[in-house]
A and B are shown apart, each in its own frame.
Chain A
Amino acid sequence: MSESLTIIVVEPDRARALEIVDALREAGNHRVHVLGDGASLARRVTELRPDLVLIDITSPSRDMLEELALASGPTERPVAMFVDRTDAGLTRAAIEAGVSAYVVNGLAADRIRPVLDAAIARFHLFSRMRSELAATRAALEERKVIDRAKGFIMRAKGIGEEEAYALMRRAAMDQGKRLPEVAQAIVMAAEVLK
């Protein structure tokens, strides 16, 4: 199994971590270790001597890896930072996907490639899911605000639900605003008048 790499995945979210591990296993017979963020990172990297560390680009712990790479000494510097710099396309793809990779052993680019491709694909999936989730959540919030505003209008004017909604929509159109914005203003005013 000389092709087998030791890979550390830094990911605090358990479910996400397992997904990445699965993806990496599909990419080859690698030894994959998962670390939660933070404290143990520096120590575990020293102990496990991984060939590759994969970490979310937005993780503040990245700066700790920077130090480890430095510690290997400027003379024996097979420590490539942030993917292999020779492959700008791969680096860019990784950054866009939100994954940073630290090649700890001066690994040849063709051996990292399949691993990274798998990780990048998985990260892309995550960011899509994340933005979809955020969109759903925002829509839900807006829904709630609109319902509260509607309720307030119904009580204040003694009208029905449909009429209250129509009133709000007309106000939005007249003022060139989005319906949730108008609803938000009404809810705020209602709070003050309460």
Chain B
Amino acid sequence: MTRALPVGYIPLVDAAPLIVAAEFGFAEEEGLVLELRRAASWSMLRDMLDFGQVAAAQMLSVVPVARALSLGGGAQPLEALMVMALNGQIFGLGPHLPALPFGDPLAAGQALAALNRPLRIGVPFPFSMQAELLAYWLERAAPRAEVQIRTVPPPRMAEALRAGEVDGFCVGEPWGSQAVEQAGARLVWPGSAIWCQAPEKVLATRAGWAEAEPERAGRLIRALWRATRWMADPANRVTLSAVLARRDHLDVGAELIDRALSHRLLIAPTGPEIVVPQFQTFHHGLANFPWRSQAGWIGARLAGRFGLPLPAALETARATFRSDLYRSHIAPLGVSLPRASDKAEGALARDESLPGTHGPLTLARNQFFDGRIFDPAPAISPK
């Protein structure tokens, strides 16, 4: 079993689970050889999946759902086998605008509306958690602000800010910190301040691949699960930053990456540095479990933005996060899993323990900034 499995990724901090699985022997432990293929854009990565050049890929969590709802490009239905990272997004504005209060989305929304000028905000992709969190925040905290959301490749964000093509950005690390460093940007909120359990990246495959290749899919899921567990140990952080920083991976300074991994954000060029709890989660609190309700939330948001009938969109969206496959492939590890595959998103004010299949497990704090709860249960028929 040494046939290499081609897997695609974009150079970002949250590509770490794949890089760690390949570099630190977690794939090998599962008898899997990963052949990592770096892509330059999300559309390229999606096309590589579509045409079978990679079997699996790190993917924006919104893409498989958008595809299922026939939004945007792409030819094949995709599905998410597991969540690779929660959060890690950063919203910030250029130095030509007044500073907004940090980490307080409500106050920042009011201050943004008070600027009373049209703004252009760059996001990595039209279908991304960055775009969704931004839209959710604007709708509820600054409904009257005039904001245009534009796609800008994240490595170009600092440059776009300096050239005056955009006024701000919502991106993943290390590109937010790089915009602070290179373009004098000021950070306003981390994505976790909008929704602290937002699925950011998933492991995506073409629909049906995991069922056609159960052996390899299982090995891949377990290797990534072990990789994220290793990453969750703070003792491994410095090693991780150094490996990710390498030229053949992210090719940016290790210090910048370490900042993201240790949840420290330099919110303006002259500081201060602020520690953001739950800034980005790779493993803790069932982070890897692909909850149907996470996909449901994405589906409901897309339905709202694109005028699609809601109950159908919700059902279609839920089906793209394959909690069933995750369960069966994680089972051999003997770890405890939740009994349900949906949860009420936004309903936990703190970490809580709940009974799982093999003993108690921890659900992490899960809140939206406006205190709303998204519970798909009433909308879905019991099965």
The one of A42, A61, A64, A95 that contacts B47, using a Cβ cutoff of 8 Å: A95
A80-119 CB contact bits vs B (8 Å, 1 = yes)? 0110010000011001000010000000000000000000
List chain A residues, Cβ under 8 A from B115: none
Give CA–CA (A22, B306) in the complex, Å.
41
A37-77 CB contact bits vs B (8 Å, 1 = yes)? 01100100000000000000111111111110110001000
Q: A39-B165, A82-B73 are in contact. Are A64 and B44 (CB under 8 A)?
A: no
Q: Please state if B53 and A95 are interface contacts (CB–CB under 8 Å).
A: yes
Interface centre among A60, A69, A82, A91 (most CB of B within 10 A): A60
The one of A39, A61, A81 that contacts B163, using a Cβ cutoff of 8 Å: A39
Give CA–CA (A61, B122) in the complex, Å.
13
Question: From B163, which residue of chain A is reached at the shortest CB distance?
Answer: A39
| B152 CB-CB contact with A under 8 Å | yes
Measured CB to CB, the closest approach of chain B to A109, in angstroms, equals 15
Q: Please state if A63 and B73 are interface contacts (CB–CB under 8 Å).
A: no
Q: A39-B163, A60-B155, A69-B73 are in contact. Are A100 and B150 (CB under 8 A)?
A: no
List chain B residues, Cβ under 8 A from A42: 150
List chain A residues, Cβ under 8 A from B306: 74
Interface residues of B in 124-157 (CB under 8 A from A): 124-126, 150-153, 155-156
List chain A residues, Cβ under 8 A from B125: 63, 66
Measured CB to CB, the closest approach of chain A to B47, in angstroms, equals 6
A13-39 CB contact bits vs B (8 Å, 1 = yes)? 000000000000000000000000011
Q: Please state if A60 and B156 are interface contacts (CB–CB under 8 Å).
A: yes
Q: A39-B165, A60-B155, A74-B306 are in contact. Are A66 and B71 (CB under 8 A)?
A: no
Give CA–CA (A95, B75) in the complex, Å.
14
The one of A59, A63, A100 that contacts B124, using a Cβ cutoff of 8 Å: A63
Which of B35-43, B87-95, B215-223, B311-319 forms part of the interface with chain A?
Answer: B35-43
The one of B43, B71, B75, B126 that contacts A62, using a Cβ cutoff of 8 Å: B43
Q: Please state if A81 and B73 are interface contacts (CB–CB under 8 Å).
A: yes
| B74 CB-CB contact with A under 8 Å | yes
- Interface size class on chain A is 20 to 34
The one of B41, B72, B74 that contacts A59, using a Cβ cutoff of 8 Å: B41
List chain A residues, Cβ under 8 A from B51: 91-92, 95
| B22 CB-CB contact with A under 8 Å | no
List chain A residues, Cβ under 8 A from B151: 63-64, 66-67
Measured CB to CB, the closest approach of chain B to A179, in angstroms, equals 24
List chain A residues, Cβ under 8 A from B41: 59-63
List chain A residues, Cβ under 8 A from B74: 81
Give CA–CA (A67, B239) in the complex, Å.
37
The one of A39, A66, A74 that contacts B73, using a Cβ cutoff of 8 Å: A66
Interface residues of B in 87-130 (CB under 8 A from A): 124-126
Q: How many residues of B contact A (CB 8 A)?
A: 26
Give CA–CA (A81, B160) in the complex, Å.
25
Q: Please state if A70 and B72 are interface contacts (CB–CB under 8 Å).
A: yes
Q: Please state if A67 and B73 are interface contacts (CB–CB under 8 Å).
A: no
Question: From A57, which residue of chain B is reached at the shortest CB distance?
Answer: B44
List chain A residues, Cβ under 8 A from B40: 58-60, 62
B41-56 CB contact bits vs A (8 Å, 1 = yes)? 1111001000101000
List chain B residues, Cβ under 8 A from A85: 75
The one of A57, A63, A92, A100 that contacts B153, using a Cβ cutoff of 8 Å: A63
Give CA–CA (A39, B163) in the complex, Å.
9
Give CA–CA (A51, B124) in the complex, Å.
25
List chain A residues, Cβ under 8 A from B53: 95
Measured CB to CB, the closest approach of chain B to A13, in angstroms, equals 16
Measured CB to CB, the closest approach of chain A to B38, in angstroms, equals 10
Measured CB to CB, the closest approach of chain A to B20, in angstroms, equals 24
Give CA–CA (A65, B125) in the complex, Å.
10
Measured CB to CB, the closest approach of chain A to B33, in angstroms, equals 22
The one of B43, B75, B163, B165 that contacts A63, using a Cβ cutoff of 8 Å: B43
Give CA–CA (A74, B305) in the complex, Å.
12
Give CA–CA (A62, B71) in the complex, Å.
17
Measured CB to CB, the closest approach of chain A to B193, in angstroms, equals 25
List chain A residues, Cβ under 8 A from B126: 66-67, 70
Report the 7 A-B pairs with minimum CB-CB distance, sorted nearest first.
A81-B73, A60-B153, A67-B151, A62-B41, A63-B41, A62-B43, A58-B40
Contact surface of B with A, Cβ cutoff 8 Å: 40-44, 47, 51, 53, 71-75, 124-126, 150-153, 155-156, 160, 163, 165, 306
Q: 26 A-B residue contacts at CB 8 Å? A: A38-B156, A58-B40, A59-B40, A60-B40, A60-B41, A60-B153, A60-B155, A60-B156, A61-B41, A61-B153, A62-B43, A62-B44, A63-B153, A66-B43, A66-B72, A66-B73, A66-B126, A69-B72, A70-B71, A81-B72, A81-B74, A82-B43, A82-B47, A95-B47, A95-B53, A100-B44
Inter-chain pairs besides A66-B43, A66-B125, 15 sampled, C-beta below 8 Å: A60-B155, A62-B40, A62-B44, A63-B41, A63-B151, A64-B152, A67-B126, A69-B73, A74-B306, A81-B72, A81-B74, A82-B47, A82-B73, A85-B75, A91-B51
